[in-house]
């Protein structure tokens, strides 16, 4: 029997005919799709969340290719090689990317449940300009031979699109590595294909308690959060998996105060903990999604800090080849003397606390 999530993949919305079941295409969208040579599309479930008539629908803009993708000015060529430190002297399999001593990213597939138009890994998953050899056993052997690695991020593509037996194999092998303390999985499926969180997958994920699994998903707009996602996240948590969100700051999608606040508040209502907001990276062909670097910190200041619960506060970061650089709003310490600190809150009010000598 074909499971619901597998049926969704069979009906993947990646042709104009299928897309037209969900939206009335504009002339421009149709023209771009007719000449498009990149991988695009999403699940029928996620496509059904698009606005039928509004080309500015925040979900539609993440799914349907834009003519602006051809207008690259600021995007860096070979971005992923730069970003993931692939041109270094350290001998590593293609599947292993490393920016830190104690943790690595382990790429196991280049298939996705949505081919996000803003993806920073687009050279690999959307454009097909970068080819990597994903030999899973080679990656596992490398991790096992590096005792300094205590934390592995399984990434892609979307790792949860692998068949259950392959996910089980991967997790069994990783959990048997004595120096591994935690496993993270980067997956947009709780958002774009929540039916993937089947009972069998829950059994696989929930089998051991000693090496915790964290799933970080990507939700960029409150419209993406549905009852189906809420149920999937609940099921993941019931089997011991914590779920966090890594949003991308996207111009015209979530870069205004109201949307940014609504997104982070709604994430908590479905038990997803806001973890990061990423500045939209300098990958090629996504200039049109990029804001100023300062914008994310301004949004944290104007939409979240003091305006809503501390649980809804992600860290705003710029991801680079030397790691993530946090850029949080710098408005809290207004002044400092030998006697006291002057602190400012989100409303601009100030107060003082004693400066206690160390």
Locate tokens 């001593």: which residue? 101
The verdict on 121 binding ligand SF4 (CB under 6 A) reads: yes
The verdict on 59 binding ligand SF4 (CB under 6 A) reads: no
Residue 354: CB atoms within 10 A of its CB come to 8
Q: Provide the minimum distance between the beta carbon of 186 and ligand SF4 in the complex, in angstroms, as a whole number.
A: 7
Tokens of 91: 């001998």
Q: In whole angstroms, how large is the CA radius of gyration of the chain?
A: 21
- Tell which residue, 255, 170, 273, 168, has the closest CA to residue 217: 273
194-223 residues in contact with ligand SF4 (CB under 6 A) are: 218
Binding string, 129-168, against ligand SF4, x = CB under 6 A?
Answer: ---------------------------xxx----------
| Cα–Cα distance for residue pair 147/103, rounded to 1 Å | 11
Q: Provide the minimum distance between the beta carbon of 119 and ligand SF4 in the complex, in angstroms, as a whole number.
A: 3
Binding residues with ligand SF4: total (CB under 6 A): 12
| Cα–Cα distance for residue pair 151/112, rounded to 1 Å | 23
Return the range that interacts with ligand SF4 (CB under 6 A); candidates 82-90, 114-122, 267-275, 312-320. 114-122
Kindly tell me which residue out of 106, 115, 276, 316 binds ligand SF4, with binding defined by CB under 6 A: 115
The verdict on 112 binding ligand SF4 (CB under 6 A) reads: yes
Quick one: 156 or 285, whose CB is closer to ligand SF4?
156
Tokens of 271: 């038990």
Q: Provide the minimum distance between the beta carbon of 337 and ligand SF4 in the complex, in angstroms, as a whole number.
A: 47
Distances (CA, A) of 277 to 206, 243, 337: 28, 15, 34
Exposure class string for 78-108: b at 16+ Cβ within 10 A, else e:
ebbeebbebeeeeebbebbbbbeeebbbbbb
Quick one: 116 or 177, whose CB is closer to ligand SF4?
116
| Cα–Cα distance for residue pair 194/190, rounded to 1 Å | 4
| Cα–Cα distance for residue pair 284/122, rounded to 1 Å | 8
Quick one: 155 or 259, whose CB is closer to ligand SF4?
155
| Cα–Cα distance for residue pair 119/110, rounded to 1 Å | 12
Kindly tell me which residue out of 13, 47, 119, 300 binds ligand SF4, with binding defined by CB under 6 A: 119
Return the range that interacts with ligand SF4 (CB under 6 A); candidates 113-121, 252-260, 266-274, 305-313. 113-121
Q: Provide the minimum distance between the beta carbon of 24 and ligand SF4 in the complex, in angstroms, as a whole number.
A: 25
**Contacting residues for 227 by C-beta, under 8 A, at least 6 apart:** none
Return the range that interacts with ligand SF4 (CB under 6 A); candidates 116-124, 173-181, 231-239, 270-278. 116-124
Quick one: 81 or 328, whose CB is closer to ligand SF4?
81
Return the range that interacts with ligand SF4 (CB under 6 A); candidates 10-18, 87-95, 108-116, 238-246. 108-116
Return the range that interacts with ligand SF4 (CB under 6 A); candidates 76-84, 110-118, 253-261, 313-321. 110-118
The verdict on 114 binding ligand SF4 (CB under 6 A) reads: yes
| Cα–Cα distance for residue pair 171/180, rounded to 1 Å | 11
Quick one: 177 or 189, whose CB is closer to ligand SF4?
189
First vs last Cα of the chain: how many Å apart?
67
| Cα–Cα distance for residue pair 286/9, rounded to 1 Å | 26
The verdict on 185 binding ligand SF4 (CB under 6 A) reads: no
> Dihedral of CA 32/34/36/39: which sign?
positive
| Cα–Cα distance for residue pair 109/101, rounded to 1 Å | 23
Kindly tell me which residue out of 32, 116, 160, 299 binds ligand SF4, with binding defined by CB under 6 A: 116
Return the range that interacts with ligand SF4 (CB under 6 A); candidates 86-94, 112-120, 237-245, 312-320. 112-120
- Tell which residue, 131, 129, 134, has the closest CA to residue 93: 134
Kindly tell me which residue out of 125, 241, 250, 327 binds ligand SF4, with binding defined by CB under 6 A: 125
- Binding footprint of ligand SF4 on the chain (CB under 6 A): 112, 114-116, 119, 121, 125, 156-158, 188, 218
């Amino acid at each position: 029997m074909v499971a619901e999530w597998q049926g969704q993949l069979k009906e993947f919305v990646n042709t104009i005919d299928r897309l037209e079941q969900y939206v009335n295409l504009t002339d421009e969208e149709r023209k771009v799709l007719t000449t498009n040579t990149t991988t695009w599309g999403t699940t029928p479930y996620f496509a059904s969340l698009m606005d039928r008539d509004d080309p500015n629908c925040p979900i539609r803009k993440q799914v349907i290719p834009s003519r602006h993708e051809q207008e690259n000015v600021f995007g860096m060529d070979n971005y992923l090689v730069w970003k993931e430190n692939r041109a270094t002297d350290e001998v590593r399999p293609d599947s292993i990317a490393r920016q830190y001593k104690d943790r690595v990213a382990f790429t196991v597939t280049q298939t996705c449940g949505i081919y996000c138009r803003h993806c920073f890994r687009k050279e690999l998953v959307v454009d097909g300009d970068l080819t990597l050899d994903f030999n899973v056993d080679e990656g596992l052997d490398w991790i096992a031979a590096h005792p300094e690695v205590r934390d592995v991020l399984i990434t892609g593509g979307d790792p949860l699109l692998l068949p259950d037996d392959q996910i089980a194999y991967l997790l069994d092998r990783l959990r048997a590595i004595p120096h591994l303390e935690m496993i993270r999985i980067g997956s947009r499926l709780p958002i774009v294909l929540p039916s993937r969180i089947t009972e069998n997958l829950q059994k696989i994920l929930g089998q051991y308690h000693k090496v915790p699994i964290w799933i970080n998903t990507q939700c960029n707009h409150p419209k993406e959060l549905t009852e189906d996602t809420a149920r999937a996240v609940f099921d993941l948590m019931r089997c011991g998996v914590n779920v966090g969100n890594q949003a991308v700051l996207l111009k015209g999608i979530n870069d205004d105060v109201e949307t940014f606040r609504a997104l982070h508040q709604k994430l908590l209502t479905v038990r997803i903990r806001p973890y990061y907001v990423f500045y939209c990276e300098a990958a090629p062909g996504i200039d049109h999604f990029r804001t100023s670097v300062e914008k994310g910190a301004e949004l944290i200041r104007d939409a979240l800090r003091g305006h809503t619960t501390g649980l809804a506060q992600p860290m705003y970061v710029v991801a680079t080849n030397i790691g993530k650089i946090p850029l949080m709003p710098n408005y809290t310490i207004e002044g400092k003397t030998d006697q006291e600190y002057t602190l400012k809150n989100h409303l601009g009010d100030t107060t003082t606390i004693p400066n206690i000598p160390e």
